[in-house]
């Protein structure tokens, strides 16, 4: 019998691979959840990313099943939920981790990029909740953890209007769903990461914002953070374990900001 803070719980995590080597938020959370005794259904659009998550999980890999999902397709999300239920019989924890930014303000951003950002960052959360909530209602229990960003709260150094708007939307969606389903003992909270050092820095953001110079971008990001170091996906995962566990049983409709104090600064 498993032990740990999440013993006996089933967790469905989207975006549980990572765009590159290292500790992405979803990958780190999948492994931390397994460490704490959960059985995990880890999903991504790319099986090779999930294989890397299983490799990093080591002896914990048998506690993690994987599945493919296209988060832009409602039918794919519905199938993902069915596969999780078929594998484990229930869903106690849903962690919505898929997301990504596109540069630009309203003038320079193409309309189709705006539409894709809305679908990718916000509609995906709506759809996973649509298909998972009935199972949680039947169980009269559940914890939903949605990933937002400090970009949804304030300017964070670059014009990315669609990302900022959709991540603000995730925060408010979470509050509305939290209140609606509180009587069913379903909690909904948001994690708001700041400028963490995740694989996305090397694979995507450095090219967008620093001409491919990873070290220059890391220095720029660190300069905004009051703490003398930059967190990574493991810091997000530790917050997710808390929100998924019974330790947070009286916490719903709120946010945990993980940014080293960045959003508390005036500049």
Q: What is the pLDDT of residues 111-132, one digit of tens each?
A: 999 999 999 999 999 999 999 9
| Exposure string for 31-54, b = 16+ CB within 10 A, e = fewer | bbbbbbbbbbbbbbbeeebbebbb
With bands split at pLDDT 50, 70 and 90, how would you rate the model's confidence at 21?
confident
Within the chain, how many helices (H) and strands (E) appear?
10, 7
With bands split at pLDDT 50, 70 and 90, how would you rate the model's confidence at 203?
low
Taken in order of first residue, the domains within the chain and their CATH numbers are 10-196+232-260 (3.40.50.720)
- What's the rounded Cα separation, in Å, for the pair 10 and 94? 9
3-state SS assignment for residue 10: strand
**Is residue 266 pLDDT above 60, yes or no?**
yes
Tell me the β-bridge partners of 145.
Answer: 95, 189
Active-site residue list: 163
Provide mean pLDDT across the span 167-191. 98
Mean pLDDT of the residues in the chain: 94
Q: What is the pLDDT of residues 45-77, one digit of tens each?
A: 999 999 999 999 999 999 999 999 999 999 999
The whole-number pLDDT of residue 207 equals 63
Residue 186: closest CA among 129, 102, 261: 129
CA 233 to the chain's CA centroid: 10
Q: Dig out the tokens for 131 from the structure.
A: 């298909």
Q: Dig out the tokens for 34 from the structure.
A: 């397994």
Q: What is the pLDDT of residues 71-104, one digit of tens each?
A: 999 999 999 999 999 999 999 999 999 999 999 9
């Amino acid at each position: 019998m498993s032990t740990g803070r999440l013993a006996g719980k089933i967790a469905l995590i989207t975006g549980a691979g990572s765009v590159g080597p290292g500790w992405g938020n979803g990958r780190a959370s999948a492994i931390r959840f397994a460490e704490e005794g959960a059985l995990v259904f880890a999903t991504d659009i790319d099986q090779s990313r999930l294989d890397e998550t299983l490799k990093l999980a080591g002896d914990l890999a048998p506690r993690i099943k994987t599945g493919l999902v296209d988060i832009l397709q409602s039918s794919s999300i519905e199938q993902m939920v069915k596969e999780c239920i078929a594998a484990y019989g229930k869903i106690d924890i849903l962690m919505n981790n898929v997301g990504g930014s596109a540069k630009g303000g309203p003038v320079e951003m193409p309309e189709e990029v705006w539409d894709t950002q809305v679908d990718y960052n916000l509609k995906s959360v709506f759809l996973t909740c649509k298909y998972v909530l009935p199972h949680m209602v039947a169980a009269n229990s559940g914890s939903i953890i949605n990933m937002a960003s400090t970009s949804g709260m304030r300017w964070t150094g670059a014009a990315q209007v669609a990302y900022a708007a959709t991540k603000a939307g995730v925060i408010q969606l979470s509050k509305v769903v939290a209140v609606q389903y509180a009587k069913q003992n379903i909690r909904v909270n948001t994690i708001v990461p700041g400028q963490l050092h995740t694989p996305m820095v090397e694979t995507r953001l450095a090219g967008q914002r620093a001409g491919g110079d990873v070290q220059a971008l890391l220095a720029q990001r660190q300069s905004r953070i009051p703490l003398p170091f930059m967190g990574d996906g493991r810091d997000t995962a530790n917050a997710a374990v808390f929100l998924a566990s019974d330790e947070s049983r009286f916490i719903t409709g709120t946010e945990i900001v993980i940014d080293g104090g960045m959003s508390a600064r005036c500049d």
